[in-house]
Structure 1
């Protein structure tokens, strides 16, 4: 089902969806997030691993957009085409919940930023902060209901606006860079051993995943693309541009403050680094830029969350009622369910000790499963030769290499994140499967799962029960 002609998106709008989704709350928290876990050497290695892994994933998205142009909303459709109904559903619901958690991270960071100037907002989880975040949530809800194209145009404006403070920050830290400080931060104040650096890198990897989440923005909205061939190129170009910004922000911060000082900075830590170079006005400048950036990022995630839920419903993997659109062609039913879930997560932040970091890492954990399935599908096509002609051996080898590296990377990131986040993810996946039950019942299927799917669902249920027990007993802390 194609979008109405007046709702199609240009190449520039597709790039802005990728950049707008990736640049948000994460980049403004990088100095302290990296400072808490690693020194400069570990940071370089972490960015190399993440950059190569995500670049391969971007190439997989580009390849699949060309070889499977009939599959709309790629991140969900690819998993279903490659691995069946339930794994397609898992990809859709995991990505959808990850988008909702990313929106929660945005809302918490907005209020935490305001809390530096208005104490009533605190760390973003005070009663006033939660109430005001809820008002913002439903205000954006009304905006999106007016039309996808209008919301995407606003996202493009916000994307351009958010690049100004980031570019200014990079110029300032380049000028203020001190080699002696950077040298002291090389090994993070720890012994210069392989095991020490490896430990630092592992502790950092889940943070790098969060800042790359959104790379699939153009693919998710492929049905709105004016030209389908723009989807893959927009993904790769958007990724490369954002990667450069992320590396510059991280590495030059190590030349401004020592690692313990970086780790101690309040959120958003980029503001603290800026203040250390130019004085108090730097904190205000970055904070205003953050508010613009995160508002745009929040809008991007809201669009992506509703679209993937709507697409899964159109394809009958979720209840058909979620496919309902309003007069403006907006997936209204999916948007309502999305914002109700975000509202629930907002209330949960009241009980979380570090709400922003929890939302950040849970977003990474939830979206890694869909990424893994997309990468595995790209690998499967190259392995079987499906869609490859007899004279395309070189393209097939390239597709196999990209798919294999992206698959190993996504699986490695899931392992690197640790058991805690896998258990918490299962606690969301298992009850989310109710939507799958309802969809299968609507279609008159007597068996919800095949044998392999039933085993997977059983494993999710056991993991969810373990997570629930851990939360109740206090052995698992959010």
Structure 2
């Protein structure tokens, strides 16, 4: 196949990309995460808020894919079109970094789960664990280099394979559901008050971010779609399907174990819930499901990571070498850079105790900024009236949806805290060197004045962040 030859995805392949990206490790730890924070009432409120907020974001992706069909890179291209070259670059860099750090955490989690049965893997950061992870990394790298179509087909198969254990969990736990246990858990075991419930809900909101990451999967691959309208449909279909799974796994677990027992489960906590219903084989069953799920999520995210670098390079925001495609039409240089970075971080996990936790926290923080920029661009487009012509009703609806999505994502950035925002600048500041290289290649002015001010803020934040890490002000 010649470089750049089109490879087209069907609606169901695009939907599988969304589901495959969203369903990773997070769903397997929901019973413990929610049990530690709240009861069914607070959980229902949290899922309602998160569901509405992320559904509005899904609608924004759907609207933009329809009204801006020429923007083929999705999450990155929208930020650039709406706010300029440098914000577009930051969105691409943030999204790529989130995918990269998420891939590192997936490898560690796979080995940590195997460590339950093979002690040599420990918590996923022993020498044998890193060695096996490295072999898997480069085997997957070789597979993807053979062609995006083949890798996407495997992703579709893996997506169905990992959904089956989750569906069986829902069936078995539904059959073992006890109304009296659910009733005892309902208010979270605390005095009922608005402040108490609000505190419980706040404690779960960042958990919901982790499990919704990947909603943009179809948008990133919009250039491969058979039909541009399929991109938005796949995004909404994938989101609604995954939301149903997340809510069912969370709420049904409250009917099996009391909240203190849920909170005390080790992860993957779905294993402990199923074991309480069917016996020891349930824990093994869920562990196998987790391994399939994480492997599938890794495949989705390494594809997304390479695609975002390639697209940014084609749009002249990343250095030119990242737009190279091999004979199979795969963005090979972008894939090499992504997996070399993953390999480096895997090696670093041997020397730091908190790398896994830090990777998870940074993943969520860095993905929120690109999400916010997409929502803000949707609001800007509707507010300006561009592409709407004589369609004021659609314009009002789209503006309302984008505004809700922007407020929701901005609120999550605020909730993540100043420390997490500071840590993101440790990547945004130094990472700007790629943008400077790209601008010099094109002979263009590097920054406008507002962009220079933004870069100075990122650079100062990076300096403060690095100093805080070195002096122990921020524990890593």
TM > 0.5 = yes
TM-score (norm 2): 0.96
In 2, the alpha carbon distance for the partners of 1:102 and 1:184 equals 36
1:358-397 aligned at under 5 Å gives the runs: 358-390=358-390, 392-397=391-396
TM-score (norm 1): 0.96
Query: Would you say how many aligned residue pairs link Structure 1 and Structure 2?
Result: 474
Matched, 1:454 2:455: no
Which residue is equivalent to 1:16?
16
Are the counterparts in 2 of residues 8 and 225 from structure 1 also a CA contact under 8 Å?
yes
In 2, the alpha carbon distance for the partners of 1:456 and 1:357 equals 28
Judged with a 3 Å threshold, the aligned counterparts in structure 2 of structure 1 residues 346 and 200 are, in CA distance, closer, same or farther, namely: farther
Which residue is equivalent to 1:111?
111
- In structure 1, the gaps of 5 or more residues are none
Are the counterparts in 2 of residues 430 and 457 from structure 1 also a CA contact under 8 Å?
yes
1:65-94 Cα offsets, whole Å, 9 max, x none, are 010000001100000000000000000000
SS of 2:389's partner is: coil
Which residue is equivalent to 2:236?
236
Are the counterparts in 1 of residues 23 and 211 from structure 2 also a CA contact under 8 Å?
yes
SS of 1:110's partner is: helix
In 1, the alpha carbon distance for the partners of 2:231 and 2:119 equals 44
Shifted more, 201-210 versus 299-308: the winner is 201-210
Which residue is equivalent to 1:442?
441
C-alpha displacement of 1:183: 2.7
In 2, the alpha carbon distance for the partners of 1:348 and 1:263 equals 31
1:44-83 aligned at under 5 Å gives the runs: 44-83=44-83
Are the counterparts in 2 of residues 25 and 294 from structure 1 also a CA contact under 8 Å?
yes
C-alpha displacement of 1:288: 1.0
SS of 1:36's partner is: helix
In 2, the alpha carbon distance for the partners of 1:107 and 1:173 equals 28
Shifted more, 357-366 versus 217-226: the winner is 357-366
In 2, the alpha carbon distance for the partners of 1:374 and 1:465 equals 28
C-alpha displacement of 1:331: 0.3
Counterpart pick for 1:465 among 463, 466, 475: 463
Judged with a 3 Å threshold, the aligned counterparts in structure 2 of structure 1 residues 86 and 155 are, in CA distance, closer, same or farther, namely: same
Are the counterparts in 1 of residues 4 and 325 from structure 2 also a CA contact under 8 Å?
no
In 2, the alpha carbon distance for the partners of 1:61 and 1:349 equals 35
Which residue is equivalent to 1:308?
308
1:383-434 Cα offsets, whole Å, 9 max, x none, are 00011112x0110001100110000011011111112211111111111111
Which residue is equivalent to 1:427?
426
Aligned-residue CA RMSD (Å)? 1.5
Judged with a 3 Å threshold, the aligned counterparts in structure 2 of structure 1 residues 357 and 272 are, in CA distance, closer, same or farther, namely: farther
1:79-94 aligned at under 5 Å gives the runs: 79-94=79-94
C-alpha displacement of 1:186: 2.5
Matched, 1:176 2:176: yes
C-alpha displacement of 1:266: 2.0
Are the counterparts in 2 of residues 383 and 400 from structure 1 also a CA contact under 8 Å?
yes
In 2, the alpha carbon distance for the partners of 1:354 and 1:248 equals 31
In 2, the alpha carbon distance for the partners of 1:207 and 1:234 equals 24
In 1, the alpha carbon distance for the partners of 2:464 and 2:197 equals 32
SS of 1:229's partner is: helix
C-alpha displacement of 1:156: 0.3
